[in-house]
Amino acid sequence: MRKFYEVDDALYAIIKRREATRRSIMILVWDYIRHEKLQDPENKRFIIPDQKMKKIIPKRTSMLRLTPFVNKHIIFHPSKKSKGPNKSKARAKSKGKSRGKSKGKSRGKSKGKSRGKSRGKSKGKRRSKGKRKGKKK
């Protein structure tokens, strides 16, 4: 389920939307940063804010620290419902089978037997059949 957030005026000036998902808000903020060329030319991991961005990010900041600043300007409304179909219900209806991971139950006819060739074998390097390492005569 997608959660929609309401955006305050400072963030609205940048992304031009009143409500959006957290993911789309961050994408729009990054589009603004790239469009306005706010990345530090010497070190692209840092953002140098312009007048609009200074309301959100007060000073030169790493891109990894951008999210907490943006989070201060969004408000979650639990009453807002997602737009679009609920995927979990759609999956359960398809052929009456669950497509998720099984939770302790075996699927199929194997009943504990190995299903594939790789089961039960080590994942390490193969050794040649000739000389074995580590054994001395």
Domains and CATH numbers, the chain: 4-76 (1.10.245.10)
Helix (H, G, I), strand (E, B) or coil at 108: coil
The confidence score (pLDDT) of residue 106 equals 52
Residues 28 and 47: beta-carbon distance below 8 Å: no
The confidence score (pLDDT) of residue 131 equals 60
Query: What would the two tokens of residue 29 be?
Result: 């903020």
C-alpha span between 25 and 15 (Å, rounded): 7
- pLDDT at 134 exceeding the cut of 80: no
Residue 118: pLDDT band (50, 70, 90) is low
The mean pLDDT of 43-62, rounded to a whole number, is: 95
Residues 88 and 100: beta-carbon distance below 8 Å: no
The mean pLDDT of 53-62, rounded to a whole number, is: 95
Q: What percentage of residues in the chain have a pLDDT greater than 90?
A: 53
* Closest C-alpha among 14, 70, 39, 28 to residue 48: 39
